[in-house]
Amino acid sequence: MIEEHVWQELTDRLEKAERIVITTHVNPDGDAIGSEVAVSEILAQKGKQVHIFNHSPTPKLYDFLNVRGWIEHFDADRHEPIIQEADLVIILDISDWARLGDVGKALQRSDVYRVCIDHHIVSDQVAHLMAIDRGASCTGEIVFDLAKRTGARVSGTLAEALYTCVLTDTGSFRFTNTTPKAHRMAAELIEKGVPFLEIYERVYEQNSPGRICLLAEAIRDLHFENGGKIAWFRVTQKMLKRCNASYWETENLPEMPRSIQGVEVTIMFAETAEGFVKISLRSKGRVSVHDLANKFGGGGHPYAAGARLQGTLDEVVPVILNEAKALFR
Ligand code: 5GP
Ligand code: MN
């Protein structure tokens, strides 16, 4: 729940600001991009000047939301002056300096007032005003409330962006964050005419051959621990090259082993181009994986969490598997 005085402060700040910068986490997902587009549409209706700067490029599949072309790949030389001159910065779907990448570094160098709208367990006080609702299915759900509170017209791109948030972050209404409110949000958006079939097709039925090749490689690498309760696999730079796939095409891959009978926890170990290992943890809802991620500097939700670790796959995998097995003791 977001307290009433926080809502008040948030809507006041939005009302007063003229030049606003929006950002989100590295490797943005549907909720991150959807929230950015939704907030920018709310602000556009009020005639505000909006910039969206992200550390990472936008995954191609979400280009359909970037209809105004406002989302820009952050370039410190060109964009840092715009941050310095802004009246307000809005950080969406993240409260972790490290996961704000280069934009985060620029923000830490500026004293512009910042608000953070998020539904994760808070990692850092990245903003002066923290509008956090851990009970929200997605950041877009909070933005939907914001749209209502500010009297925005929820239609067109704004409605499509919000629908993309709730669709992707709940895994198409399958994960434990699928609340009655998430369904009501989807229902209201469908009543407003959101083309849900088209959005589903854009998000889930645009796999490149490379992504399917990666899926095959991941399945081939599946390993099991604890009598099948833990399923894990690796994604190496070699696999990405062999498949001609991009790193962002690993999105949703951590969900793959969930469908296997008896699996409770799944782990994807992805080797990044920068020489880190990114771990993605998923739980079907009986054991929490957040603390494990947190122990290695990561975070997220109880049943979907991640972290970036220094080291090679050979070093990281056994350490994490040891911790994962301990979840069942
Ligand atoms: P994914 O595994 O899909 O990257 O992320 C799953 C969840 O964990 C998301 O909610 C994401 O925000 C969070 N998460 C992933 N990696 C990190 C990380 O390195 N630090 C933090 N604080 N959260 C992470
Ligand atoms: Mn989210």
Q: How many angstroms is it from 281 CA to the middle of ligand 1?
A: 9
Among 203, 218, 234, which residue terminates a domain? 203
Residues 325, 318: Cα–Cα separation, whole Å: 10
Ligand sitting nearest the alpha carbon of 99: 1
Residues 27 and 131 in one domain: yes
Nearest CA to ligand 1 atom 22: 299
Ligand sitting nearest the alpha carbon of 169: 2
Supply the pLDDT for residue 218: 98
DSSP 99-162: GGHHHHHHHHT----EEEEE-SPP-S--SSEEEE-TTSSSHHHHHHHHHHHTT----HHHHHHH
254 lines ligand 1 (CB under 6 A): yes
96 lines ligand 1 (CB under 6 A): yes
99 lines ligand 1 (CB under 6 A): yes
The string of pLDDT tens digits covering residues 256-281 is: 999 999 999 999 999 999 899 999 99
Residues 35 and 90 in one domain: yes
Strand ranges inside the chain, DSSP E: 19-24, 49-54, 71-73, 88-92, 114-118, 129-132, 223-225, 230-235, 265-271, 276-283, 299-300, 304-310
Residues 185 and 50 in one domain: yes
Average pLDDT, stretch 27-48? 98
Percent of the residues in the chain that have a pLDDT greater than 70, as a whole number: 100
Ligand sitting nearest the alpha carbon of 119: 2
280 lines ligand 1 (CB under 6 A): yes
Supply the pLDDT for residue 219: 98
- DSSP 8-state symbol, 285: S
Average pLDDT, stretch 170-176? 94
55 lines ligand 1 (CB under 6 A): no
Domain count, the chain: 2
**Mean residue pLDDT across the chain:** 97
CATH number of the structural domain spanning residue 165: 3.90.1640.10
Distances (CA, A) of 251 to 47, 59, 93, 115: 34, 10, 16, 27
Supply the pLDDT for residue 245: 96
13 lines ligand 1 (CB under 6 A): no
Q: What angle do CA 104, 317, 326 make, to 5 degrees?
A: 100
Contact 86, 19 (CB under 8 A): yes
The string of pLDDT tens digits covering residues 205-252 is: 999 999 999 999 999 999 999 999 999 999 999 999 999 999 989 989
Average pLDDT, stretch 124-137? 98
CATH number of the structural domain spanning residue 238: 3.10.310.30
Residues 192 and 316 in one domain: no
Among 146, 179, 203, which residue terminates a domain? 203
Residues 9 and 153 in one domain: yes
104 lines ligand 1 (CB under 6 A): no
Q: How many angstroms is it from 314 CA to the middle of ligand 1?
A: 22
Q: Tell me the backbone φ, ψ of residue 307, rounded to 5 degrees.
A: -160, 160
Among 203, 231, 249, which residue terminates a domain? 203
Domain that holds residue 268: 209-326
Supply the pLDDT for residue 272: 94
78 pLDDT band, cuts 50/70/90, is: very high
Average pLDDT, stretch 115-125? 97
Residues 99 and 184 in one domain: yes
Supply the pLDDT for residue 224: 98
Contact 242, 209 (CB under 8 A): no
Residues 119 and 138 in one domain: yes
Nearest CA to ligand 1 atom 15: 306
